[in-house]
Amino acid sequence: MVKINDNYQKLQGSYLFSTIAKKVNAFSSAHPEKKIIRLGIGDVTRPLTPTIIKTLHASVDEMADEKTFRGYAPDLGYDFLRKAICDNDYRSRGCRIEEDEIFVSDGAKPDSGNIQEIFDADCKIAVCDPVYPVYVDSNVMAGRAGDYDEKTGRYTNVVYMECTAQNGFAPELPKEACDLIYLCFPNNPTGATLKKSELQQWVDYANKNGSVIIFDAAYEAYISDDCPHSIYECEGATQCAIELHSFSKNAGFTGLRLGYAVVPKELKRGGVSLNSLWARRHATKYNGAPYIVQRAGEAVYSEEGKKEIRGLIDYYMENAKYIVSGLEKAGYNVFGGTNSPYIWLATPDKMTSWEFFDHLLEKANVVGTPGVGFGACGEGYFRLTSFGSHENTREAVDRICNL
Ligand code: MLT
């Protein structure tokens, strides 16, 4: 009889956001009269901007004409998009990244889950705690994380780098050597950022130890100060870092699906170029993001597109401001929300994260994300997103403050 991949048995329950969705659906079926406001999963609510819509329409029309019809997309992405990414996200920032180091994909979530495939099964991984669950779960599936310890709420073979209010939610360099280090800044879920000098220490650590950093830059568009947008702003990062990007959070593509990974050619381990491994993996398992979506991605970098995208980010950051100031006035201890669309708050009255989740759902009919769902250090914390509409965000904050 065929055997299943037993590592899946080591995963904890269901995926965090599926668990939340189930709980919320049960509550809403029992109380159909209640208006639930969802500030849980980081899903955008503003429609795509006019330039994106115009480009989508035009490229759909191209598909209707045999002279301009496109079949399979090039597996690593269309040149027009790879060039736009390179020029705007890297060359303009002085980073030495070339088009053939960009791998267009259907988003940062799949890339962050899949990238571990090109590394050895015995690699030691290090993650922040709290952490976006995909980094850990994908390594559990690959058999790299060890066993789940109920007592600690952690996997035995993972190095957890604690991010707490005491260290400003910035992880300290691991004492033991780690092979694969996942970093996400601006951080999901805490909203913390790293200064360039802090990020440089990680790059130096990785180069010294032969580690590889997987740098998730999904939220870089929300940076409003001089924090680095890309790890390649640091000296030596092209020799130790892979960077992941998303069009979801800046341009509202959560439903369209588009992202990219950067794997520099000079990033080598054991004399082998990781760029060529990822290219091989991409070509074998992926048929490319749809043409119309890649054209829409290119339009994000047009002058009009950039202006519109700035408008979207400003819209969400106005929500973030409202959440932070409202909750602070009501006496909450609040973090994030300045360089990030996430607000991370300490639960009141020593409530656990899930107790506070239930409390908010039942009493305010507001959905957030329990901090402990992101790891043991998230216990006693709670995450709200600023991706709602102004109206819903204000109503949610007012309801929470009136509890
Ligand atoms: C989140 O809420 O943490 C993210 O939206 C999930 C995701 O991007 O996959």
How far, in Å, from the CA of 28 to the mean position of ligand 1? 22
What is the overall mean pLDDT for the chain?
A: 97
Looking at the structure, tell me whether residues 171 and 216 fall in a common domain.
yes
CATH code, domain with 101: 3.40.640.10
In angstroms, the CA 242 to CA 269 distance is 13
Identify whether 3 is part of a domain: no
* 254 and 209 together in one domain: yes
Q: How many domains does the chain have?
A: 2
The predicted structure's pLDDT at residue 75:
87
In angstroms, what is the span from residue 388 Cα to ligand 1's centroid? 14
Residue 167: inside a domain:
yes
**282 and 335, same domain (yes or no):** no
- The preferred substitution site among 41, 105, 374 for testing ligand 1, maximizing ligand atoms within 8 Å of CB, is 41
Q: Which of 223, 224, 168 is nearest to 198 (CA)?
A: 168
Give the tens place of pLDDT for each residue, 61-114. Answer: 999 999 999 999 998 999 999 999 999 999 999 999 999 999 999 999 999 999
In the reported structure, the alpha carbon of residue 62 is separated from the centroid of ligand 1 by a whole-number distance in angstroms of: 33
Evaluate if residue 184 carries a pLDDT over 80. yes
Residue 228 shares a structural domain with residue 204: yes
**Residues 267-284 pLDDT 10s:** 999 999 999 999 999 999
Q: Last residue of some domain: 273, 301, 329?
A: 301
CATH assignment at residue 368: 3.90.1150.10
The atom number, within ligand 1, closest to the CA of 108 reads 8
End-to-end Cα, the chain, rounded Å: 56
Q: Is the pLDDT of residue 377 over 90?
A: yes
Question: What is the crossing angle of helices 303-329 and 50-63, to 10°?
Answer: 140
For ligand 1, atom 1, which residue shows the shortest CA distance?
Answer: 42
Shared domain check, 20 and 125: no
Residue 1 belongs to a domain: no
Residue 51: alpha-carbon gap to chain centroid: 25
Calculate how far, in angstroms, residue 42's C-alpha sits from the geometric centre of ligand 1.
5
Beta partners for 244? 216, 261
Please identify, by atom number, the ligand 1 atom nearest to the C-alpha of residue 134: 9
14 pLDDT band (50/70/90 cuts)?
confident
CB 290 within 8 A of CB 256: no
Task: Taking residues 55-59, report their average pLDDT.
Answer: 98
- What is the domain range of residue 239? 53-301
User: 14-18, 69-73, 225-229, 327-331: which range is least confident on average?
Assistant: 14-18
- Residue 291 sits in the same domain as residue 382: no
- The residue nearest atom 9 of ligand 1, judged by CA position, is 109
Give the ligand 1 atom nearest the CA of 109.
9
User: Cα(373) to centroid of ligand 1, in Å?
Assistant: 12
**Residues 327, 288 share a domain:** no
Tell me whether strands 342-346 and 381-385 are parallel, antiparallel or unpaired.
antiparallel
Is residue 4 one of the residues assigned to a domain? no
Atom of ligand 1 nearest to the CA of 132: 3
Note whether 243 and 263 are same-domain residues: yes
**pLDDT the model gives residue 15:** 81
Ligand 1 geometric centre to CA of 134 (Å): 9
109 & 235 share domain: yes
Ligand 1 atom index nearest CA of 218: 8
Reply yes or no: is the peptide bond before residue 186 cis, omega within 30 of 0: yes
- Among candidate residues 301, 333, 353, the one where a domain is terminated: 301
Dihedrals φ, ψ of 161, to 5°?
-100, 110
pTM of the model: 0.96
- What is the CA(38)–ligand 1 centre distance, in A? 13
- Of all protein residues, the one whose alpha carbon is nearest to atom 4 of ligand 1 is 42
Nearest to 376 by CA among 398, 360, 353: 353
106/240 same-domain check: yes
Strand-pairing partners, residue 161, are 128
Over 80: is that where the pLDDT of 13 sits?
A: no
Report the pocket of ligand 1 as residue ranges, CB < 6 Å: 41-43, 109, 132, 188
Task: Return the pLDDT at 212.
Answer: 98
CA of 330 to the centre of ligand 1 (A): 27
Mean pLDDT, to the nearest integer, of 177-191?
A: 97
